[in-house]
Chain A
Amino acid sequence: ETGVTQSPTHLIKTRGQQVTLRCSSQSGHNTVSWYQQALGQGPQFIFQYYREEENGRGNFPPRFSGLQFPNYSSELNVNALELDDSALYLCASRPGNTGELFFGEGSRLTVL
């Protein structure tokens, strides 16, 4: 139990739709990172938020966007869904920019 909760746990969308995934970070953690993990692959870094500001981004197109709220919870939004967006989306939090990442159980997105 990491104290990081994600919702929804599973969802199915069709191509072209939009999706919002949510993450509640562990208490006291002001840094949230989002990762995409395709089946059999390592987690791919999408972006990171520190105190409500994006302070790192991976090689994902602009249709992947996010927010961090004053309570440090976070959202990942993906527009114009494509089939290749099907993956497990992992949220991870930590206190500050160093130290271990505490992962949630993930949101499994299937795009048909």
Chain B
Amino acid sequence: GQQVMQIPQYQHVQEGEDFTTYCNSSTTLSNIQWYKQRPGGHPVFLIQLVKSGEVKKQKRLTFQFGEAKKNSSLHITATQTTDVGTYFCAGGDMEYGNKLVFGAGTILRVKS
């Protein structure tokens, strides 16, 4: 079945440093979504990528979807303490009702 792997599992950065998390799918995806979950909270949608090679930006966050639509990345420039949380990618496959399969997430901690 479809699997989504995410690395690193955990990253601890100094405030102001950059952060990147990577996502790889075992199958070609129809779309990929990114979510952020704060401790004790529920996942909150950040963005969806659909096109091969797509790049989207949200302020300090840059999202990429690979050419083969099997991998993706989230890059945060100049992290802030408000960026703390777990970042999940979720791969969608329209062949299976576009069920979204989540990666294990990357926990981001920011030292001020």
For residues 20 through 69 of chain B, which have their beta carbon under 8 Å from a beta carbon of chain A? 31, 33, 35, 41-45, 48
Does B13 interact with chain A (Cβ within 8 Å)? Answer: no
Does A99 interact with chain B (Cβ within 8 Å)? Answer: yes
Asked if residues A90 and B42 are in contact (CB atoms below 8 Å), the reply is: yes
Asked if residues A48 and B103 are in contact (CB atoms below 8 Å), the reply is: no
Give the interface SS of chain B, mostly helix, strand, loop or mixed.
strand
Asked if residues A100 and B45 are in contact (CB atoms below 8 Å), the reply is: yes
| B48 neighbours in A (Cβ, 8 Å) | 99-100
| A48 neighbours in B (Cβ, 8 Å) | 97, 99
Asked if residues A56 and B96 are in contact (CB atoms below 8 Å), the reply is: yes
With both beta carbons as reference points, the residue of chain A lying nearest to B50 in the complex is identified as A98
Does A82 interact with chain B (Cβ within 8 Å)? Answer: no
* Chain B residues within 8 Å of chain A by Cβ, number: 25
| A103 neighbours in B (Cβ, 8 Å) | 42-44
* Chain A residues within 8 Å of chain B by Cβ, number: 26
| A33 neighbours in B (Cβ, 8 Å) | 99-100
Asked if residues A59 and B97 are in contact (CB atoms below 8 Å), the reply is: no
- Residue in B42, B102, B105 whose CB lies within 8 Å of A106: B42
Give the distance in Å from the alpha carbon of A55 to the alpha carbon of B96 in the complex: 7
- Residue in B6, B98, B101 whose CB lies within 8 Å of A97: B98
Q: Tell me the smallest distance from the CB of B54 to a CB of chain A, in Å.
A: 15
- Residue in B6, B31, B42, B101 whose CB lies within 8 Å of A45: B101
Give the distance in Å from the alpha carbon of A92 to the alpha carbon of B48 in the complex: 16
Contact surface of B with A, Cβ cutoff 8 Å: 1, 6, 31, 33, 35, 41-45, 48, 88, 90, 92, 94, 96-105
Contact surface of A with B, Cβ cutoff 8 Å: 2, 33, 35, 41-45, 48, 50, 55-56, 58-59, 90, 92, 97-106
Please name the 10 residue pairs, one residue from A and one from B, whose CB atoms are nearest each other, closest first.
A56-B99, A55-B97, A100-B45, A56-B97, A103-B42, A42-B102, A97-B98, A42-B104, A43-B102, A42-B105
